[in-house]
Chains A and B, each alone.
Chain A
């Protein structure tokens, strides 16, 4: 589904990604782990098309389509979803209006008619329940005054609504207590299917106890230095990242 080949990227002339290769197939869950500053979040930003990142080399395709050529919104419409580490607050834009606009823009991109109000509300209710999202928050301004946990749950609600092919969860576990982590993970697990795929970006193994990955990759200094099964995460937890740093001096 997603194919990253020899990806190099920089920010303000500083090389951040130095030759990433990664293949993600439908139905798979990949975890990308690594110490702080290794380039994990940068990878997520590059994939989603954040402007200040410059791709200097390599390709990224999704189902054969070149992602790097597309504007951020078109990548989203093609089915790429980024759950942000720090979701922004946009006062004055209601959550519900935002969801409706996003959903209908994506639908229209695929030549589908917009959902009417009734069916949209029905869908929202259904998904809200699925991800245990407080109905009251739906009518508030987008993320404004939300707690850290509420913001992350809102990301999962959007994920449920927009039904992307590939979802990248960027440090979704950071700042969550155990209850919130359970709710967020349950949501993701319910949304997993043979047709979609997930990339979990995380510093800790903790999240992977709730969302069990098929593959674990270790990112260090802008490159994937180790790949393996879910056991690799446990090994990392035990030995710490210094082990990786030692090996890759």
Chain B
């Protein structure tokens, strides 16, 4: 009982320090920011104060208990910036072998152009720090345009407090000739709680491929509460991959809000490998026009007491849209995996095709899987389905491999790779695909070494 009280007071203290952070930044922002933005921040703070830090009594958080992650105290702003040697090392660590890509580097949530490699043409696209563009009308209009912050307390407090991030805009029919890798470098001497805010606008007919990854260069705790808002306009196509490979002292709550307009396509790959302590991904795709196409692929490998929680929402509001979700999870030694996906089909969204599949493999006896695939359907001329499985290895297949001389470890490794193949095979970029496959193999080998 007394334990409970202590935990409560600690989570209250995080809430309090976030509110304090708002008060500090708000007074600085007054005069620098347009009234519209200040109002949004105030409203967002209200939403956060009202909801507080969600507990497992909140249906959206019933499988992920945040209490153990809230005990520590954090600095809300970086105490300084790392040296260039640190940043260089981080970039090397984030490098994907054989990937020919542009590079955008953010250090503690702020763009560092000096380490970035961007195309030299000026026409067609724009990348600016959020701190620079947040006074513009375009920015204020894009902020929370489809994100109902009252439902998402973390997105709300991010809105109230954010100070920086990247703002990217691709002009009509602009096609980025190479993928862009965005490397988020984090480093501080203190425990750090960061709230980056990013906006991506892919205008009519544009095409781009973005890969995001992050590197923590310190042994202090890092808690990232990030929000990225993406608009994919008419006929545009945006490919978005997110590599989540972290350290045990990292905690991530990432909210990605996507709005798709008529005939657009959005592909998301969320690939979560150990060792971050907590990873919570909210991925909401709002289909705001007819005839869109959406592909969401997720792969999560969870180890030792860590939690990976993927929440997805595909919101079908118009006819003739197609969406497909495939999330595959491997629970290694003692990890916990959560999948909570929702397909919502509104009454006008006739001729919707929406699919959702979640498969899980429990590798050791002490893991946990919580899967909650949901369909909410208010239109009749639709084809919707979902499936979810939890299981272990197919004994027959294992025996077959072993009878060909393949050892148990290798056979397990082959089977896990095969299990992940449904997701990895969907990655078109070969360098990326090879990279992730190698990471998977490495992860399995490490897990086997532990067992």
Contact = CB atoms under 8 A, between A and B. Distances in A.
B428 interface: no
A135 B354 CA distance: 36
B422 interface: yes
B403 A72 contact: yes
B406 A102 contact: yes
Contact of A73 (B397, B406, B418, B420): B406
Contacts of A81: 403-404
B414 A76 contact: no
28 contacts: A71-B408, A72-B399, A73-B411, A76-B405, A77-B405, A82-B403, A84-B400, A88-B394, A88-B396, A88-B397, A90-B401, A91-B418, A91-B422, A92-B419, A92-B420, A92-B421, A92-B422, A93-B417, A93-B418, A98-B401, A98-B414, A101-B406, A101-B410, A102-B405, A105-B405, A105-B410, A106-B405, A109-B405
Interface in A83-117: 84, 87-88, 90-93, 97-98, 101-102, 105-106, 109
B422 A73 contact: no
Interface stretch (A47-55, A179-187, A197-205): A47-55
A128 interface: no
A158 B401 CA distance: 12
A162 interface: yes
Interface residues of A, number: 29
B55 to A, nearest CB: 39
B123 interface: no
Interface residues of B, number: 25
B415 interface: yes
Most chain A Cβ neighbours within 10 Å, of B395, B403, B421: B403
Contacts of B402: 49, 71-73, 76
B387 interface: no
B419 A158 contact: no
Interface in B404-434: 404-408, 410-411, 414-415, 417-422, 425
Most chain A Cβ neighbours within 10 Å, of B394, B400, B410: B400
A223 to B, nearest CB: 25
Contacts of A87: 400
Nearest to A102: B404
Interface of A: 48-51, 71-73, 75-77, 81-82, 84, 87-88, 90-93, 97-98, 101-102, 105-106, 109, 141, 158, 162
A73 B397 CA distance: 13
Nearest to A103: B405
B400 A93 contact: no
Contacts of B400: 84, 87-88, 90
Contacts of A51: 395, 399
Contacts of B404: 73, 76, 81, 98, 102, 158, 162
Most chain A Cβ neighbours within 10 Å, of B396, B404, B408, B419: B404
Given A91-B418, A92-B421, A101-B414, A50 B406 contact: no
Contacts of A90: 394, 397, 400-401, 415, 418
Contacts of B411: 73
Contacts of A48: 399, 403
A50 to B, nearest CB: 6
Contacts of B405: 73, 76-77, 102, 105-106, 109, 162
Contact of A92 (B396, B410, B417): B417
Given A73-B408, A88-B397, A105-B410, A93 B403 contact: no
Interface in B11-70: none
B298 to A, nearest CB: 16
Given A73-B403, A73-B406, A93 B396 contact: no
A75 B441 CA distance: 26
Nearest to A77: B405
A107 B419 CA distance: 26
A75 B419 CA distance: 26
